[in-house]
Structure formats: C-alpha cells, structure tokens
C-alpha cells in the first residue's frame, strides 16, 4: 500500500463503513441490489485492499489511541473470523452470530472514528441524488463529457451507473422512510432506477465486444440511453 496516509486512511474508513452497513450487504450478497459485494470480498477488501493490519503498524495514521484500539479490535475480529471461515461463505453468512458481532464492532468503530456517511445526512443524500438525476437528464452535458467536446472534463457512459447506484446509493435511499419526498417523486426515481438497471443488464455483453474507443460514440446516441435521459428529465421535473 502506498504511503499517502490521507488516501490510505480514507480507504480504511471506507471499509469500516461498508463493514458496518448491513443493509448494503444484504442487498449485495443476496443479489437484490446493484452493489457488488460478497462475504469473501468483504474480508478481501478490508484485510487485503485496504491493508488495515499494515495501516495499524504505522505511527502516522492520524488517529488517536481510542480510535486505534477500536480499529484493532475490529481488525482482530475480521482476521480471526476470516481464518476460521470457509473460502466462499454463502450469503446467509450475514446472519451468523460471529458476523453480526463484526457488524456491531464496525458500527462502534465508525462512531469512534467520526465517519459521516450519506445515511447520516438524508438532506445531503437527497441533494446528491437530485444532482445525479440532473446530470443524467442533460444529454448535452453527458455527450460533451463522453466525447470530450466541452469544458466539463471527461467521463464515460457507464460511470454514471456507478455514480447513481454506488456513489449516491439510490437503492439505499429509496428504502428510507425519511427521504422528504412524496410518493410521486419516489416512484419517479424508482422508475429511473429500474430503467437504468435494465439498460445495464441489456448491455453487459455489448460492453465486452464493442471496442472501448467506440463505446462513447455508440452510447451517446443509443435509443436505450435516450429513454433513460427522458425518464431523468421527467424525474427532474417532478422533483422540482
């Protein structure tokens, strides 16, 4: 792991947050949401990708003693459970009392580390979702960043799926009962979400066969994406 401690610390915090997020795990592990995760990936991401054990050996983590001890306890639980668990635990592993103990420890560590996530600030969460809806609704903006013809930087078509489903976690938002949106607004976001999932599923094989340099041009005029744009424009109008 590179020694840029700010980036490393953020990776560690992200893994603590994801390990504490039981709702996300249930959606991802049982395949009922767009997130990609599984029990074995959770161990790999925490102990491998974020290298939390190595991180804790450093003296420049930026955490105080209480934070370090809490993170050590969580890491020990993860390592011990990883060692005594089969290579690919089934999704039902989430209800194992040992994993529930890990989730509880992750939630406590998250609190001690002062990690703030979208679910802690529903108003900001809603604002970020509305921002993504506005961007998807703006065909001119999207094509300018996809094709690099404007001054808005560069992006790729399917990055917007990642941003919509992963970065702003629209599925998790729609499961809340305190979104501040009315039934019509929620149904419109839900329709947009289901439409985007449908396009994602339909284009899996295409994305494997179309050369990368042609993907941007292909999808900038694809009728399926045009339908997504239209749905986003409708949602944009309903959200006000």
pLDDT at 119: 67
Prediction pTM value = 0.60
Q: Is 239 exposed, middle or buried (0-12, 13-18, 19+ CB in 10 A)?
A: middle
Q: Is 68 exposed, middle or buried (0-12, 13-18, 19+ CB in 10 A)?
A: middle
Q: How far apart, in Å, are the Cα atoms of 12 and each of 5, 60, 61, 179?
A: 10, 14, 10, 28
Contact 36, 18 (CB under 8 A): no
Rounding to the nearest 10 degrees, give the CA dihedral for residues 140, 143, 148, 149.
-40
> CA nearest 143: which of 235, 217, 230, 236?
217
The DSSP call for residue 182 is -
User: How far is Cα 29 from Cα 38, in angstroms, rounded to an integer?
Assistant: 5
pLDDT at 202: 81
Contact 35, 24 (CB under 8 A): yes
31 φ, ψ (degrees, to nearest 5):
70, 30
**C-beta pairs of 178-185 under 8 Å, 24+ apart in sequence:** 178/122, 179/122, 179/126, 180/122, 180/123, 180/126, 181/126, 181/239, 184/238, 185/235, 185/238, 185/239
Inter-axis angle of helices 139-147 and 122-137, to 10 degrees?
80
The tokens for 146 are 């996809």
pLDDT at 175: 85
**pLDDT per residue of the chain (240 residues) written in tens, 0 to 9:** 445 888 899 889 989 999 999 988 998 898 876 677 899 999 999 999 999 999 999 999 999 999 999 999 999 999 999 999 988 999 999 999 999 999 999 999 999 998 877 666 888 889 889 988 988 888 776 666 566 665 555 566 666 777 787 778 888 888 888 999 999 999 999 999 999 888 888 877 776 777 656 666 666 678 888 898 899 999 999 998
pLDDT at 46: 95
């Amino acid at each position: 792991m590179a020694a840029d401690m700010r980036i490393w610390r953020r990776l560690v915090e992200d893994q603590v947050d994801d390990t504490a997020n039981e709702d996300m795990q249930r959606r991802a592990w049982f395949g009922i949401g767009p997130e990609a995760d599984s029990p074995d990936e959770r161990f790999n991401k925490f102990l491998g990708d974020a290298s939390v054990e190595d991180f804790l050996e450093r003296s420049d983590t930026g955490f105080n003693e209480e934070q370090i001890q809490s993170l050590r306890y969580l890491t020990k639980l993860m390592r011990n459970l990883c060692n005594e668990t089969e290579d690919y635990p089934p999704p039902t592993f989430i209800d194992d009392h040992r994993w529930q103990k890990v989730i509880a420890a992750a939630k406590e560590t998250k609190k001690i580390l002062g990690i703030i996530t979208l679910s802690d600030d529903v108003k900001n969460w809603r604002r970020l979702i509305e921002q993504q809806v506005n961007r998807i609704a703006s065909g001119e903006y999207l094509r300018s960043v996809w094709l690099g013809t404007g001054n808005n930087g560069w992006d790729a078509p399917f990055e917007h799926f990642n941003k919509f489903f992963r970065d702003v976690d629209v599925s998790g938002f729609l499961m809340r009962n305190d979104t501040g949106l009315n039934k019509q607004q929620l149904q419109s976001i839900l329709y947009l979400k289901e439409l985007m999932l449908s396009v994602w599923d339909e284009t899996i094989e295409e994305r494997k066969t179309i050369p990368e340099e042609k993907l941007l041009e292909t999808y900038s005029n694809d009728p399926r994406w045009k339908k997504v744009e239209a749905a986003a424009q409708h949602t944009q109008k309903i959200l006000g």
